[in-house]
Every structure is written in structure tokens, then in C-alpha cells.
Amino acid sequence: MKTTFAALTLSALAVTAQAETYELTMASSHPTVLPWVGQLSTLVVAETNTRLEAMGSEDRVEWTEAYGGSLYGFKDTLEAVGDGLTDAGWVGTLWEGSKMPLQNVTYFTPFVSDDLVGTLKIMNQLHRDLPELQAAWDDQNVVFLGASGVETYHLMTNFPVNSLADLQGRKILAPGPSANWIAHLGAVPVDGALPTYYNQIQTGVADGVVVILTGAFPNKHYEVAPYVTLVGIGAHMTGGLGINKDVWDGLSDDVRQVLTELGEEYTVVHAEEVMERYETFLAKLPEVGATVTELPEADIAAWAETLPNLAADWVAANEDDGAATVLSAYMDAVKAAGLNPRIDWSAR
């Protein structure tokens, strides 16, 4: 009987000894008012220990949260996680064209789908299936847990847009890859960012912007660009939740399992929140004095059909990284999911 009691006592001590409490930091360059940041706190951080307890794990995570650029700026999100300035956080792949070009495939394949949830689910699956996508994160010492993104892009201008001809010679804010979406229309792409758009349009630097409504409405772009023309250029991946690989390797299997599951949920939950905001802001635009119209279907078709082969140029520029494989897999997944792309970029 003594032997049995001692064995049980040793067993209990062994279980206790195996339990770990990990002190981790979750951070972002952007504030929690943005869905892809807010859900880091309200879902991932808030649910970690609840999920661990539910699965019977003794492990726990003590999170420290640092959002709104308190640790680093928006241009340093990848390095901040990879170098260990934060243990985990949101990484903006959109700004990492040289280090993570393959993660920006959606920006070189416009007019594919306005379904943000569906698009991001596909990007998560491709990251699991394609070594080419995983390699970019591995090279930066980051483990990818779940994609984030924005809803479809539309036009906001200080002049009415009734047809594509109205864009001829107009200065339109379209930074980065989005400049390629409008240049062939005779518009003049102008560089900028969400915080600068209002002043640029107000001072005549630009006549309008290609923009997401979830960014434009809070920044009151409708005051200087009251003509909102719905086009539907497509939803896009802009980044994702990542965790430092050295930190990841030091976590228990239980914690890794919970964070993996929460990463998948993060993608869906924040995307659904983005779309809820989009619908709310779209409905409110007429109330704040904006004129909302839809670009005629014939013009949208012409816009899409006359685009240069942006995907082919992107593949050529990133051939050594496996861009052709990513493009083919992406378009196959889009079609398999029934998202009905307006353009099949793999067939151009």
C-alpha cells in the first residue's frame, strides 16, 4: 500500500513539474480598433488559457499586450516578431514585397473575389500546403498562424464616375500594387496612405482614391471625395498573425495546439468583423452626404478585361521563389471554392 501511495505521489509531482507558465507578449503596430488587431486581444489572448483548461492542460500563458505602435512601427512588423522584440503579433506582409512577395499574390490578381472570408481561408490552406509560402516565414524566423485581410476595393472621388472614360487623366490615389489596377484606364496613380488621403484630395494632389470603405469611412474621406463608385476589385490578404519561431519551438505541444487552432479562428472571426463593418459603413454613406452608385457592369468587365497581365509579370519577377506554383494553386483553390473569379489569372 505504501508503494502504491508513493507511486501516486510521484506521478502527481511529475504532472505538476511538467506544467508550464509561459510569459509572452502580443503586439501590433496598429491599434485595436482595427479588426485584425482587436481580435488578437479579444480572441487569441482572451481565449488561450480558457482553451488550455478545457483540453485538460496544466499549461498557461501570461500575456502582455502592446498595441498601437508602442513597441514598433508599421514598417517593422516582420522584424519585430522575427527578431523577438515581441513574441507574437500582427505582421503586415503587404509592406514586405521584397522579403515576402508570394504573400502578396492577391494584389497581383485583382477582380477574383469579393469574399474576404473565403479568400483568407484559401490563403491559410495554401500556407499549410505549399512550402513556397511557408519558406518566406521560416526565412524570417516567424511561424504563420492565420491570415488577415481587407474587403474589396472601390472608388471614392470628388467628381462623378459614370463610366471608365471619366477616369481619363484623373489623379487617383493608388499606392503600391494597386497603381497597376488603374494605370491602363488613363488615370494617373498617386502614392499615399489611409492617413494622408484626406489631405491629398482636399489640397488637389489627387482627385480620388481606390480604397476600402472600412478605412475610408472612419477617416471621413467622403467629406472630400463624396462620390462613391462601387466596383469590386477584390478582397485581399494584407498580413497575418505570427509568432517568433524560437519562442514557438520552446512551447509545449498543448500551447502550440491551442494557438494553431486560435490562428485559424482569428482569420475567420476578424474577416467576419471586417465585412460587418463594411456593410454598416456602406449603408451609412448616404446619411453623411455621399452619393453611392455602381459602375455599370459593362465598364467593370472592360476594366477587368483590359488589365495588363499583372499576374504574369509578378510570376516572372518572383520565379525563383515559386510564384508560378502559388498562382496556379491559388486560382485552382478559388475555383474549387466556387468563388467564381471574374479573371482566371492562371489562364491568361
- Percent of the chain exceeding pLDDT 90 equals 93
Any idea what the CATH number is for the domain that residue 221 is in? 3.40.190.170
Domain total in the chain: 2
Q: Does residue 4 fall inside a structural domain? A: no
- By C-alpha distance, which of 302, 216, 277, 242 is closest to 103? 242
Q: Does residue 14 fall inside a structural domain? A: no
Domain range for 112: 22-149+236-278
pTM recorded for the entire structure: 0.92
Same domain, 100 and 136: yes
Q: Is the pLDDT of residue 16 over 80?
A: no
Summarize pLDDT for 145-195 with one digit per residue, the tens: 999 999 999 999 999 999 999 999 999 999 999 999 999 999 999 999 888
Other beta carbons less than 10 A from residue 79's beta carbon: 17
Q: What is the chain's Cα-based Rg?
A: 23
Same domain, 177 and 309: yes
Same domain, 330 and 230: yes
286 Cβ neighbours under 8 A, 6+ residues apart? 292
Q: Is the pLDDT of residue 244 over 50?
A: yes
What pLDDT shows up at residue 195? 87
Same domain, 195 and 273: no
66 — pLDDT class (breaks 50, 70, 90): very high
- Percent of the chain exceeding pLDDT 70 equals 95
What pLDDT shows up at residue 13? 47
Summarize pLDDT for 192-236 with one digit per residue, the tens: 988 899 999 999 999 999 999 999 999 999 999 999 999 999 999
Distance CA 86, CA 82 (A): 8
